[in-house]
Amino acid sequence: MSILQNYSENSVSDDVDITPHVTGETSEYLGRLLIGDDEPRLLNSLCSILRDKGFEVDGAEDGDAVCQRLRENAYDLVLLDIRMPGKSGLEIMAWLKETGVDAPVIIISGHSDYRIVRQAFKLGACDYLRKPYDVDELIRAVGGTVLERRQARSQAATGWSNPLTADFFKHTLDHLPDLVFSLDERKCINYLNHHSESLLGLPTEELIGQPFSQLVHEGDIAKLPLLFGKNEVGESVTQEIKLKTYHGGIGYLDCDITVASPLEANNTALTYAKPPPAKPPFLGIVRDITEHKRTLALMEFHASHDTLTGLPNRSLFMDRLTLAVSQASRNGQKLAVLFIDLNDFKAVNDTYGHGVGDQLLQKVAAGLTHCLREGDTLARYGGDEFTVLLPSLDEKKDAATVARKLMNSLETPFQFEGTDLRVSIGTSIGIAMYPEDGAGAETLVERADMAMYAVKQKKKNDFYFYS
């Protein structure tokens, strides 16, 4: 459903031009694009922006129409929303793979579910942009993808000597936000486009003639033989490599670097160091993926951690416990699982409100964390329940020692900033030991839970071992 206005499922806005733009000559365009989005105004906006940038653009408001356009026309790039009437964006990508239709895909969606993003990349998406999209990021992603596709087609069909191809690349390279470079046979830089200074923080003139390796983070130097080795025998290679930056000091960017060795080169297409090489052995594109990696890492973190406390969630805890049981079995060691429940937490919520309750959970999580070793795991299991994994224990009494520390950490009433409020909270802890109390992760958690309930039934603010 549109976030701007309600539209019937099959309606088309009068002011949205989604008719294919067919011309006799396509060389005047930077590339031909197809956009699939069920929100008419956003579709119109995307079409207008990309047409203004020199692309030929067709649009479709449902997945079936997208597939029909792909059957009838060849496109340099397809931009898809995840949710559309008919086929969804993911279903269209699966259809592309099944039918063998050759069209790279960028997903543009308001959905940032980590699992959907991962599925999109598995199905072959070359990028994922989140609505509301940043126009500069959009142009960079579209331009880079179309350039790579046309570069591959041009090399395969006519090589770099075709004058039309040279003009196209000269115009595109000068305006592409990605860093484009070429290297001589010594792997020294002999061309950089205008993006070098904004990305790396150094003027182009200072980099011409320098070994490409000087731009690479010391820890990634070992990746260079693989980056250059395969395309010496005619294969293009993409590697993730850290590059140094010099914006007010030395920093680093995570980059995808694609390097290819062209069959032949037209020296008029690029401005090279003098004397110009007869044939540049290596051509490459550098794409800054720092923010992309940060976003994916954050999404993966949220998928495995509790958003309120930042602790591992139940799923991650069970994964770590399963691994710890396997290691303990192999090494003949003990481990303990502690199940922690806060006493009378509901009364805190009812009396002071959920805002105070949430702050209390955060303070409890911080206090419990300080009692544990680096290799231990504290997780928020759910609600006011926490679990602890204590691997590599020598004796049962080691778990008892940790349980006392955890209880003692909650003895002092918690204070809340900006108020005189002080809240005391107690805890009941159940403990299950491996291998005595169970050989599997689920069993150990269940028995620690049973021991915790035994504490609640008899007395609170104590710990019991499962028996």
Do 224 and 316 fall into the same domain? no
CATH number where 104 lies: 3.40.50.2300
More confident of the two residues 101 and 415: 415
Please tell me the pTM assigned to this model. Answer: 0.52
Residue 312 is classified by DSSP as B
Do 212 and 140 fall into the same domain? no
**Any domain includes 25:** no
Do 323 and 456 fall into the same domain? yes
**Any domain includes 14:** no
Domain boundary residue among 78, 112, 147?
147
Do 118 and 180 fall into the same domain? no
pLDDT at 112: 63
Residues pairing with 393 in the sheet: 334
- Give the integer Cα–Cα distance in Å for 203 and 443: 62
Do 428 and 393 fall into the same domain? yes
More confident of the two residues 261 and 25: 261
Do 246 and 122 fall into the same domain? no
- Give the integer Cα–Cα distance in Å for 350 and 347: 5
In which band, very low, low, confident or very high, does the pLDDT at 319 lie, cut at 50, 70 and 90? very high
Q: Residue 189: which of 96, 257, 117 has the closest Cα?
A: 257
pLDDT at 269: 40
- Give the integer Cα–Cα distance in Å for 93 and 101: 10
The pLDDT tens digits of the residues spanning 369-422 come to 999 999 999 999 999 999 999 999 999 999 999 999 999 999 999 998 878 899
Residue 335 CB-half CA count within 13 A = 28
CA dihedral 442, 445, 450, 452 (to 10 degrees): -170
The pLDDT tens digits of the residues spanning 113-152 come to 677 777 888 888 888 887 777 788 888 888 888 887 776 6
**Any domain includes 15:** no
Answer for the pair 391, 375: CB distance below 8 angstroms, yes or no. yes
Domain boundary residue among 147, 178, 194?
147
Do 285 and 316 fall into the same domain? no
Contacts of 308 (CB under 8 A, 6+ apart): 358, 361, 362, 380
- Give the integer Cα–Cα distance in Å for 296 and 85: 27
CATH number where 331 lies: 3.30.70.270
Do 311 and 264 fall into the same domain? no
**Any domain includes 179:** yes
- Give the integer Cα–Cα distance in Å for 359 and 380: 14
**Any domain includes 434:** yes
Q: What is the mean pLDDT of the chain?
A: 82
| Parent domain of 213 | 162-293
Answer for the pair 261, 160: CB distance below 8 angstroms, yes or no. no
Q: What is the mean pLDDT of residues 145-167?
A: 62
Do 180 and 249 fall into the same domain? yes
Do 240 and 325 fall into the same domain? no
**Which long-range contacts link 169-173 to residues 24+ away (Cβ below 8 Å)?**
169/269, 169/270, 170/269, 170/270, 172/30, 172/143, 172/147, 173/147, 173/270
**Any domain includes 5:** no
Q: What is the mean pLDDT of residues 31-52?
A: 89
CATH number where 260 lies: 3.30.450.20
Q: How many domains does the chain have?
A: 3
The pLDDT tens digits of the residues spanning 337-354 come to 999 999 989 999 989 999
Do 211 and 287 fall into the same domain? yes
**Any domain includes 6:** no
pLDDT at 280: 59
**Could you tell me if residue 33 is left (phi over 0), alpha (psi between -120 and 50 degrees) or otherwise beta?**
beta
Domain boundary residue among 293, 326, 342?
293
In which band, very low, low, confident or very high, does the pLDDT at 170 lie, cut at 50, 70 and 90? low
Q: Is the pLDDT of residue 206 over 80?
A: yes
Q: Is the pLDDT of residue 323 over 60?
A: yes
Contacts of 158 (CB under 8 A, 6+ apart): 165
Answer for the pair 101, 70: CB distance below 8 angstroms, yes or no. yes
**Any domain includes 23:** no
Q: What is the mean pLDDT of residues 149-165?
A: 57
More confident of the two residues 252 and 152: 252
Do 105 and 244 fall into the same domain? no
- Residues of the chain above pLDDT 90, percent: 37
Q: What is the mean pLDDT of residues 230-237?
A: 64
